[in-house]
Amino acid sequence: MVRRDPAEVHRVATPLELLFDLCFVVAVAQAGARLVHAVAAGHAGQGVAGYAMIFFAVWWAWMNFTWFASAYDTDDVPYRLTTLVQIAGVLILAAGVPRAFDRTDYSIVVVGYVVMRLALTTQWVRAARSERGDARITALRYAVGVVVVQIGWVAFGFLPHTDVKVWVFVVLAAAELAVPVVAERHRPTPWHPHHIAERYGLFTLIVLGETVAAATVAVQRALDRSGSTQLLPMAAGGLLIVFAAYWIYFVVPIHEHLRTGRRAFLWGYGHYLVFSTAAAIGAGLEVAIEQVVGQAHVGATSAAASVTVPTAGFVFFTWLLHARHVKPSLRQQAVLPLTAVAILACTFAGSWAVLLAGFVAALSVAVSLIQHHRITPASDAAAIP
């Protein structure tokens, strides 16, 4: 297993990586569906906590594979088979999501997670056998660190559901986050900046696509029940939010920023907030639609907040981690934070909250484009997407 060249030209995502992402979105969809059920039933706190925990498992396993593949993807038979085992693991995890939400039984989720992580451990062991010196030490640290933390997760699966279990989860999640920091202290893995940027962008598209799919199904169900015309502005607002979210994220050529390894850690870790809020937008739209047709046990303000809060979170975290690195002026920097605040204010607009939030998000894109064209020569501005 020979390390890849981090300066390799034309490095793009492989079909196996795309299959990997599509299977992971099954778990994201399951977590989003249970979040909808919990919030619509009036148990928002419990639902958000469960969603955050499940999404961490999905995101962390996806992220670890993505960075490993960027450095060591050999695309041979052992690599492919091990990756397929990881895909099986995430499907096991997805199957356990309803049980985790409804019965606070995380045993199936833990089994799926451990399958994914141990499969990745074998990849690191294989990489260690091919490496020498500090690079070999890095690979072995990854393998040992992952195995040690998995022992903790197995114990977590047998704990009774108490407040202690939540704190044990926090400790184990922190231990997971610490493994790459410790492993790469002396010799970083040779990941490819452009490849990593593309992989994160593709996963962003997938979670936004899941939002569109969830909202479409919710509108269809609602129309079958009542045929309410109130759903039209909500559907339009949801589309505007998704379109604006796409534009805000993908207008930034981020791979140059990632060439500094220390920045890459913060960028990579922080995307938990970007991905989770993007996926939660779809769940929020479902709750808002169910509230309109009388199927959710929450008020109009709470239903609106289920959309505006994750939307504002996505806008703010995308700016904080991603978009601000290519905005040269203070005026440009202020657009997205102010947009997040304005979207939160839309929460109190009643039945028009989602549509208004969509207009605010779209307006922020328009303002950013106008500002860019005012300070950029015409020849360069024409090339901006």
Distance CA 98, CA 83 (A): 25
Rounded mean pLDDT, 98-121? 90
- What pLDDT score does 80 carry? 95
Phi and psi torsions of 140, nearest 5°: -65, -35
Distance CA 161, CA 107 (A): 12
Residue 82: band (very low, low, confident or very high) from pLDDT cuts 50, 70, 90:
very high
Q: Is 128 helix (H, G, I), strand (E, B) or coil?
A: helix
- What pLDDT score does 384 carry? 47
- What pLDDT score does 385 carry? 46
Rg (CA), the chain: 21
222-258 pLDDT, tens digit each: 777 665 667 788 888 988 999 999 999 987 777 767 7
Q: Domain ranges in the chain?
A: 15-183, 193-381
Q: Which of 87-96, 217-226, 229-238, 257-266 has the highest mean pLDDT?
A: 87-96
316-345 pLDDT, tens digit each: 999 988 777 666 667 778 889 999 999 999
114-144 pLDDT, tens digit each: 999 999 999 999 999 998 888 999 999 999 9
Distance CA 108, CA 127 (A): 29
Rounded mean pLDDT, 28-48? 88
Rounded mean pLDDT, 140-150? 95
Distance CA 50, CA 74 (A): 36
177 φ/ψ sector (left φ>0, alpha ψ -120 to 50, else beta): alpha
Distance CA 93, CA 229 (A): 38
CATH 3.90.660 holds for 193-381:
no
